[in-house]
Amino acid sequence: METKKSPRILVFSTDKISDPGIDQAGLRKIHYSPTVYTISLPCSSGIKPRWVMRAFEQGFDGVFIAADGHECSYSSRCPEFTNKIIEECQKQMTAKGISPKRIRMAAICSVCAEPFASHMANFTKILAELS
């Protein structure tokens, strides 16, 4: 009974930093689209492109990587690794006719409730325009 089709977004967050930031958005009742689903991982550099492709196969409209950026406690090269993963995803997406704009990344800190909500609003808008 979903009335208007809001774009479905899969978020990959990180256990120690960005997922607590997303939790905080809820805690403070800072709203974002209810068609946003989150999977938390230890580090954004561990996302396999096949998972991203699975999301598109399953009808997700976009994938958002809530990365730790330079705050990552595992590796100072985290942004570089995560970027490479995104490039690989975009290559596979383009091959399947999926717009590379459907994957995005931003650093989300452990108290970044508002930035997360505004990233979601922005991405929702971009995805709505794409379809």
The contact set with another protein (CB under 8 A) reads: 1-3, 8, 10, 16, 19-20, 22-32, 34-35, 37-43, 45-51, 54-55, 58-60, 71, 73-78, 81, 85, 88
Distance CA 10, CA 82 (A): 16
Determine contact, residues 11/64, Cβ cutoff 8 Å.
Answer: yes
Q: Cβ closer to another protein: 3 or 95? A: 3
Q: Cβ closer to another protein: 1 or 95? A: 1
User: Cβ of residue 126: shortest distance to another protein, in angstroms?
Assistant: 20
Q: Cβ closer to another protein: 28 or 125? A: 28
Q: What is the CA radius of gyration of the chain?
A: 14
DSSP characters over 64-114: EEEE-GGG-SS-TTHHHHHHHHHHHHHHHHHHTT--GGGEEEEE--TT-HH
User: Cβ of residue 123: shortest distance to another protein, in angstroms?
Assistant: 15
Q: How many CA atoms lie within 13 A of 87 on its CB side?
A: 6
89 φψ region: left (φ > 0), alpha (ψ -120 to 50), beta (else)? alpha
User: Cβ of residue 77: shortest distance to another protein, in angstroms?
Assistant: 8
Q: Cβ closer to another protein: 29 or 129? A: 29
User: Cβ of residue 86: shortest distance to another protein, in angstroms?
Assistant: 11
User: Cβ of residue 101: shortest distance to another protein, in angstroms?
Assistant: 20
